Amino acid sequence: MANRKALVVWGGWDGHQPKEVAEISREQLAKHGFDVEVSDTLDAYLDGEKLKSLDLIVPVWTMGTISGDQERNLLEAVKSGVGIGGCHGGMCDSFRNSTEYQFMTGGQWVSHPGNDGTNYTVDIKDPDHFITQGTPLSFAVSSEQYYMHVDPAVRVLASTRMPVADGPHVKNGNFDMPVVWTKYYGEGRVFYSSLGHQANIVAQEDPLRILTRGLLWAAHAEDAA
């Protein structure tokens, strides 16, 4: 059987260390037998037929603007069955004016009360799912706690209890914010984890396990774990 093929596309705001996070994703996929192409331009999305030949697309691109042709080809590839997966702002704060992209990913960042260095807990909600297997039912994180607008159709695998930090959301009371989820966009599997402000967080044991298994799941590559 030929190796599975993945495309990692990085760029956008440098504060999320997209090059370094892209390298972590590349390394993990290569360890699991993928042929991985890495690109630092959104023009990697211009070849629609090539995109449809992939098993997985990993966006690592915070903010910025995607062109109509780039977005159309990406969306069509995922609808056709290509998996897509990623983390933090590199996937769910990519193109703030592209609502169809947000429809595909299942959520959009809107705030992180307390900013970086907030101490919070991630709670696994579905420990039997392939993505969360092997991860403790609860683990601590010191990073940005993402407040997101989330598609109600997603399957929530992990969440975090808010509020932890002060902010205009506090008087609404306690609530669970999704951290890890899956969904489908057409035939494509979609995976997202909000963990991973910078490479040092992505590389931590629990966030890295979730990211790696999430990418494998999105690519229909559970057998490669």
CATH number for 182:
3.40.50.880
Beta-sheet strands, E only, within 69-128:
83-87, 107-111, 118-124
For 101, list phi and psi in degrees, rounded to 5. Answer: -60, -45
User: HSE (CB half, 13 Å, CA atoms) of 24?
Assistant: 24
Residue 20 confidence (pLDDT): 98
| CA distances for 73 relative to 15, 27, 70, 138, 217, angstroms | 27, 26, 5, 38, 22
The DSSP secondary-structure symbol of 142 reads: E
Rounded CA-CA distance 42/29 in Å is 20
Q: Is the pLDDT of residue 120 over 90?
A: yes
Tens digits of residue pLDDT in 127-164: 999 999 999 999 999 999 999 999 999 999 999 999 99
Question: Minimum mean pLDDT among 2-6, 35-39, 78-82, 95-99: which range?
Answer: 2-6
Mean pLDDT throughout 111-122? 97
Q: In the chain, how many domains are there? A: 1
Q: What is the mean pLDDT of residues 77-105?
A: 98
Asked if omega into 163 is within 30° of 0 (cis), the reply is yes
Provide the 10 A C-beta neighbour count for residue 191.
Answer: 29
pLDDT of res. 1: 54
Q: What is the mean pLDDT of the chain?
A: 98
Average pLDDT score over residue span 195-212:
98
Please say whether the beta carbons of 113 and 145 come within 8 A. yes
1-52 confidence digits (pLDDT tens): 579 999 999 999 999 999 999 999 999 999 999 999 999 999 999 999 999 9
Give the domain range for residue 210. Answer: 5-224
* DSSP label of 176: E
- List, for residues 103-112, the tens digit of each pLDDT value: 999 999 999 9
Residue 39 pLDDT: 98
